[in-house]
């Protein structure tokens, strides 16, 4: 009931609606609505109940203004279960009236329209939608939802929302299948199914914002028509500024087409609607980092820690990015203090904390303790994936091996890690693998650390041009960071040349600031007089790097 009432209200251009995933956490809220409004940046809060007895339905609702804690309106709606859509429409209309929304005749008509006249079709649609609302959607979830949705459109071929969901399911299936070469034949069949569903949707609502959104998905994922997809999504957003998926897809497209500032604008709007752990916060923090907006990251991460104090990794990361922003030893000491005292676990990305712990361990000359923790976490990670590791994790293993080989007494541990990387399957092994990139990018590291410097150089020189010219996002940005790490290890005399290409002239998950904060991963670049001149001219990291011996103290 909540989802469908909100879906109707999203068609009102003057409304900005907080996403259900954010609101759901507060469904039993009792207390000061002003505080809740400030937390969610909401002017009004709609509260209500739904009760059903056999075929009778009662909906109660009350609308309150958060700034004053005053009740603006309340009402009760009774009817037969068969009249559920009329009840939803009546409730939505009452809200728009109370908030003095000026609707065009077409908008009023859409507000009142029933999604389907067949309750059995609606029931199947709800079951499928419930299956698709899990936090980590798998290929099996997508497959399981399809029979329900197909049953829904068979019962009511004019049920647009069901067709729209079929399009999204097929698009996600296609994207997953195309990652696995052996599944590309099946991906072709999925594309045919998607073409049919898109044609059905277009016939039903050729001018609606929902069709524009689905068309954008098709242009983006199937046709790779980035400009066409931007136009479709942008038109959809004009009609429904509160649609999260449209905002997020536009952010991806603007990033891919070299407009990071527009991508950030979309993600900031999305985050306002979905202030929660997960995609919105992760993508916005990722975008700030990619755009080197380190000044915005502490505020965002502190806000997330305020909203979710149990997620202590935000507290650690806020201090880390403050250190990247100003480079001062004072900021580093605060970051170090939080690493040492906060029991933080990042549920989305364990690497984020591991890599930061390494910086602190190296600064403290406490590599033994760090290595013990790293090894335990690593073994647990690989075992939890059935003895498999993705390229991102394999690359971290190779970075750690390099550190081991540079520390006295760790040669055997390093050899054991190399053997483990060689033994695992270095490609995605199932349809749900997501943290992947081309293993050819890190293979030169594996070859070099295994003792064959000539072959490592050959591999690196072969893969470098395609990585530098890649337009894939975020994969290309990650690969360029890995490439620079490999160059520092294999072609040390070219480290600054590649630094110039990767950091200054291409979008990369690597920056001047992140290199200065992690000099142990780039020891040869840190020896280049040109890079050290940049450090001195910039000034921020001089005290930090001098204290650890990467810069000579001023006389």
Residue 152 lies in a domain: no
Q: Which residue has the tokens 């349809």?
A: 431
Domain assignment of residue 383, yes or no: yes
**pLDDT for the residue numbered 552:** 84
Tell me which residue range forms the domain holding 324.
275-343
Q: Specify the pLDDT at position 19.
A: 67
Q: Does 223 reside within a domain? A: no
The most confident of 50-54, 169-173, 437-441, by mean pLDDT? 169-173
CATH of the domain at 68: 3.40.50
- Residue length, the chain? 555
250-259, 349-358, 487-496, range with the lowest pLDDT: 349-358
For residue 134, the model assigns a pLDDT of 67
How does residue 326 score in pLDDT terms, banded at 50, 70 and 90? Answer: very high
- Within-domain flag for 140: no
CA distance 76 to 61: 6
Cis ω before 63 (30° cut-off from 0): no
Tell me, yes or no, whether 260 lies in a domain: no
Are 457 and 543 part of one and the same domain?
A: yes
Q: What is the pLDDT of residues 418-428, one digit of tens each?
A: 998 888 766 55
| Alpha carbons 116 and 402: distance in angstroms, whole number | 61
pLDDT at 492: 96
Does 462 lie in the same domain as 427? no
Starting at the edge strand found earlier in the chain, the sheet holding 56-65 runs 44-53, 56-65, 70-80
Neighbouring residues of 269: CB distance < 8 A, sequence distance ≥ 6 = 241, 247
| Average pLDDT value for residue range 448-465 | 96
- pLDDT reading at 255 higher than 80: yes
CA pair distance 255, 260, nearest whole angstrom: 5
Do 426 and 321 belong to one domain? no
Phi, psi of 84 (to 5 degrees): -60, -35
In this prediction the pTM is 0.73
Q: What is the spatial distance between Cα 232 and Cα 217, in angstroms, rounded to a whole number?
A: 9
- Judged against a pLDDT cut of 80, whether residue 432 lies above it is answered with no
Higher pLDDT, residue 539 or 432: 539
Strands 44-53 and 70-80: unpaired
Residues 368 and 412 occupy one common structural domain? yes
| 553 domain residue, yes or no | yes
Say yes or no: 301 and 353 in one domain.
no
Q: Where do we find the tokens 């975008």?
A: 287
Q: Are 496 and 530 in contact (CB under 8 A)?
A: yes
Confidence of residue 486 (pLDDT cuts 50, 70, 90): very high
The domain boundary residue, chosen from 68, 90, 114 = 114
- Tell me: do 455 and 377 sit in the same domain: no
Closest CA to 426 of 463, 389, 397, 398: 389
Question: Which H or E run contains 101?
Answer: none
pLDDT band at 429 (very low <50, low <70, confident <90, very high): low
Instruction: Give the angle 94-98-102 at the CA atoms, nearest 5°.
Output: 90
In this structure, the answer to whether residues 379 and 454 fall within a common structural domain is no
Q: Are residues 323 and 369 in the same domain?
A: no
The chain-wide mean pLDDT, for the chain, equals 85
Same domain, 398 and 306: no
Q: Can you read off the two tokens belonging to residue 524?
A: 């040869």
Final residue before a domain boundary, out of 322, 343, 364: 343
Residue 167 lies in a domain: no
Sign of CA dihedral 319, 322, 327, 331: negative
Q: Tell me, what's the pLDDT at 22?
A: 66
| Tens digit of each residue's pLDDT (9 = 90 or more) over 506-516 | 888 899 999 99
Shared domain for 335 and 385, answered yes or no, is no
Residues 6+ apart with CB under 8 A from 372: none
| Cβ(170)–Cβ(193) below 8 Å | yes
Q: Compute, in degrees rounded to 10, the torsion defined by CA atoms 74, 79, 81, 83.
A: -90
Q: Are residues 370 and 465 in the same domain?
A: no
Assess contact for 44 and 64: CB atoms under 8 A.
yes
**At which of 114, 136, 160 does a domain end?**
114
CA gap 234, 12 in Å, rounded: 17
User: Is the Cβ–Cβ distance between 216 and 249 less than 8 Å?
Assistant: yes
Q: Kindly tell me if the per-residue pLDDT of 306 is higher than 70.
A: yes
pLDDT tens per residue, range 204-252? 988 778 889 989 988 988 888 999 999 999 999 988 888 888 998 899 8
Query: pLDDT tens across 377-416, in order?
Result: 777 777 766 677 778 788 888 999 999 998 888 999 999 9
Domain count of the fold of the chain: 4
Contact (CB, 8 A) for 434 and 392: no
Query: Cα(479)–Cα(56) distance, rounded to whole angstroms?
Result: 58
Residues paired with 493 in a beta bridge:
none
Claim to verify: residue 34 and residue 61 sit in the same structural domain = yes
| For residue 78, pLDDT beyond 90 | no
């Amino acid at each position: 009931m909540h989802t469908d009432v909100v879906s109707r209200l999203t068609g009102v251009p003057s409304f900005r609606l907080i996403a259900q995933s954010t609101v759901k956490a507060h469904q039993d809220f009792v207390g000061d609505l002003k505080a809740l409004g400030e937390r969610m940046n909401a002017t009004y809060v709609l509260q209500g109940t739904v009760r059903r007895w056999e075929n009778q339905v009662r909906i109660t609702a009350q609308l309150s203004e958060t700034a004053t804690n005053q009740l603006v309106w309340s009402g009760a709606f009774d009817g037969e279960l068969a009249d559920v859509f009329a009840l939803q429409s009546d409730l939505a209309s009452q809200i728009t009236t109370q908030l003095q929304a000026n609707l065009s005749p077409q908008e009023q008509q859409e507000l009142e329209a029933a999604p389907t006249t067949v309750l059995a079709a609606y029931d199947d649609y709800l079951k499928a939608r419930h299956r698709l609302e899990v936090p980590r959607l798998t290929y099996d979830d997508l497959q399981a939802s399809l029979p329900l949705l197909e049953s829904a459109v068979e019962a009511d071929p004019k049920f647009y929302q069901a067709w729209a969901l079929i399009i999204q399911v097929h698009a996600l299936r296609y994207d997953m299948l195309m990652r696995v070469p052996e599944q590309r034949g099946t991906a072709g069949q999925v594309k045919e199914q998607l073409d049919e569903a898109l044609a059905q949707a277009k016939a039903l609502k050729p001018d609606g914002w929902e069709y524009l959104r689905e068309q954008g998905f098709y242009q983006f994922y199937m046709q790779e028509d980035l400009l066409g997809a931007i136009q479709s999504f942008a038109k959809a957003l004009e009609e429904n500024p509160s649609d999260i998926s449209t905002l997020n897809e536009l952010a991806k497209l603007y990033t891919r087409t070299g407009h990071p500032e527009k991508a950030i604008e979309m993600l900031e709007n999305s985050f306002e609607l979905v202030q929660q752990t997960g995609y919105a916060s992760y993508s916005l923090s990722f975008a700030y980092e990619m755009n080197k907006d380190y000044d915005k990251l502490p505020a965002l991460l502190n806000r997330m820690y305020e909203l979710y104090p149990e997620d202590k990794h935000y507290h650690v990361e806020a201090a880390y990015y403050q250190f990247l922003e100003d480079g001062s030893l004072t900021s580093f000491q605060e970051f170090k203090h939080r690493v040492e005292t906060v029991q933080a676990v990042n549920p989305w990305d364990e690497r984020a904390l591991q890599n930061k712990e390494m910086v602190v361990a190296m600064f403290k000359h406490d590599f033994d303790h760090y290595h013990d923790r790293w090894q335990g976490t690593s073994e647990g990670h690989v075992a939890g994936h059935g003895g498999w590791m993705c390229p991102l994790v394999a690359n971290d293993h190779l970075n750690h091996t390099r550190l081991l080989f540079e520390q006295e007494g760790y040669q055997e541990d390093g050899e054991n890690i190399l053997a483990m990387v060689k033994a695992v399957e270095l490609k995605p092994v199932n349809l749900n693998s997501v943290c992947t990139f081309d293993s050819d990018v890190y293979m030169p590291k594996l070859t070099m650390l295994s003792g064959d410097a000539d072959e490592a150089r050959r591999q690196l020189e072969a893969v470098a041009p395609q990585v530098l010219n890649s337009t894939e996002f975020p994969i290309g940005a990650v690969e360029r960071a890995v490439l620079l790490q490999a160059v520092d290890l294999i072609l040390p005399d070219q480290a600054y040349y590649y630094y110039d290409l990767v950091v200054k002239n291409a979008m990369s998950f690597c920056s001047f600031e992140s290199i200065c904060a992690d000099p142990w991963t780039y020891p040869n670049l840190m020896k280049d007089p040109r890079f050290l001149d940049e450090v001195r001219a910039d000034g921020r990291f001089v005290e930090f790097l001098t204290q650890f011996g990467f810069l000579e103290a001023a006389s």
